[in-house]
Amino acid sequence: MVDSSAPAPAALSPAEVAEASRHDLFIDRRIPHTPALGHQARLLAHPVPAGGRTLVVVVGASLDAVVRGRERLALILALFSPLLGGLLSAGGWLLAGAALRPVRRMSQEADAISLAQAGRRLPQPEGEDEIAQLGRTLNAMLDRIEAAFARERMFLDDASHELRTPIAVLRAELEVALLESGDREALERSLRSALEEAERLARLAEDLLVLARATAGRLPLRRRPVDVRALVEQAVHRNVNGSAGRSSGPVVRVDGPEARAVVDPARLDQVIANLVGNARRFARREVRVRVASDGDDVLIVVADDGPGFPDTLLPVVFDRFTRAEAARSHEAGAGAGLGLAIVAAIVRAHGGTISAANGPPLGGAAVVVRLPLDETGPVPEPV
């Protein structure tokens, strides 16, 4: 030791001196017999060239204050950590409760909503966050569900109304047949009328079954490649002209090139029969059925020269039990208003589209059926 500010023992060992002569060296240790440095000190050994040799300058500072501060901090953390954790937990619980309170209100309201309370909706939180978006989504879902139930209620009401008339007529004819059992001619008329009503009931039941299966996505289709033009001609001949030759009433013309597509021939025959029968009911002189290819689709256009669809009917012409006011009497030969709805259901089951308008090519109603040339999805299994 060359010199020191106060008498002190050697602070460094010979090995530490040798290392400190090459570079700065920090050492934490207790220096005995040096009260100024306390119980623990940090030393810095710094090499200094002097007179051709290297001296090591050692300075130190007490770490007692640092140690005491560390101990106080540990004590404070030990005492206040549980309290701080409790405060944070309580704050988090309050914030979570406030954030989820709208969800709880929506849940309670959802439990209270029933079908008897039309128009009742969930309370919708303000803002644009996820919970507000959830409320809007759930209310939109309730709107769709309520609309679906309204359609089903209307369907049941209309079906009940349509079934009531033929059942009443059938019952009346059977009662007349019982009263006129002695008059063979009157008995035969009553039985024939009863048979007509029974056939009408059977057709109505079959139509309702087709619509129910189509709504459930289970309309059976037996597809195979066919010439749509030839199938349309056969359907027109069988359902319009009949086996005895050309029938009276508006003439039905079929034109267009050959167009092949993968369809259910029986169902497509049903489509053509319904469309042509509906067109002939309102046509003045002519009904035209045109078949054409359009890219990956085949088009079937059924047009007539009649008055066309009423403007109020066009938006809902393919809905169930939809009929023009002029065709709402059973005596006039009108159906139950299911024909176009069945046509639309069959076309959509094939992956196609259908639309209705007034105007060209004959100036009256025109229905356009668009069917894919090939299958666009899995074919439903026949049931």
Total count of residues recorded for the chain: 383
The rounded distance, in Å, linking the Cα atoms of 201 and 333 is 14
| The two three-digit tokens of residue 233, written as one number | 């001609």
Determine the 3-state secondary structure of 364 from DSSP. Answer: coil
H or E segment at 177? helix 130-179
**Strands across the sheet containing 353-358:** 251-255, 286-294, 297-304, 365-372, 353-358
Topology agreement, domain 130-215 and domain 224-372: no
The rounded distance, in Å, linking the Cα atoms of 57 and 214 is 99
280 with 248: CB under 8 angstroms? no
pLDDT value, residue 3: 57
pLDDT value, residue 324: 57
The rounded distance, in Å, linking the Cα atoms of 264 and 287 is 24
Residues 6+ away with beta carbon under 8 Å from 235: 268, 269, 272, 273, 276
CATH homologous superfamily for 224-372?
Histidine kinase-like ATPase, C-terminal domain (3.30.565.10)
CA atoms within 13 A on the CB side of 275: 32
| The two three-digit tokens of residue 257, written as one number | 């090139």
| The two three-digit tokens of residue 155, written as one number | 């369907």
**CB count in 10 Å sphere of residue 115:** 9
In the chain, DSSP finds a helix count (H) and a strand count (E) of 7, 10
pLDDT value, residue 347: 92
Determine the 3-state secondary structure of 93 from DSSP. Answer: helix
pLDDT value, residue 246: 52
pLDDT value, residue 115: 59
The rounded distance, in Å, linking the Cα atoms of 220 and 218 is 6
Q: What is the DSSP string of 184-237?
A: HHHHHHHHHHHHHHHHHHHHHHHHHHHHHHHHTT------EEEEHHHHHHHHHI
State residue 370 phi and psi, 5-degree precision.
-120, 115
135 with 100: CB under 8 angstroms? no
Domain ranges in the chain are 14-62, 130-215, 224-372
Per-residue pLDDT of the chain (383 residues; tens, 9 = 90+): 555 555 555 677 788 888 888 888 888 877 766 676 777 788 888 888 887 788 888 888 888 888 888 888 888 888 888 888 888 888 888 887 777 777 777 777 777 776 556 667 777 677 677 777 877 888 888 888 877 777 677 666 666 666 776 777 778 877 777 776 667 787 787 788 888 778 777 777 777 777 777 776 777 888 899 999 999 999 888 876 554 445 577 899 999 999 899 998 988 988 998 899 889 988 999 999 999 998 889 999 999 999 998 888 888 888 876 665 444 344 434 455 677 888 888 898 889 999 999 998 898 999 999 999 875 444 443 33
The rounded distance, in Å, linking the Cα atoms of 294 and 52 is 104
> Is the domain covering 130-215 a CATH 2.40.50.840 domain?
no
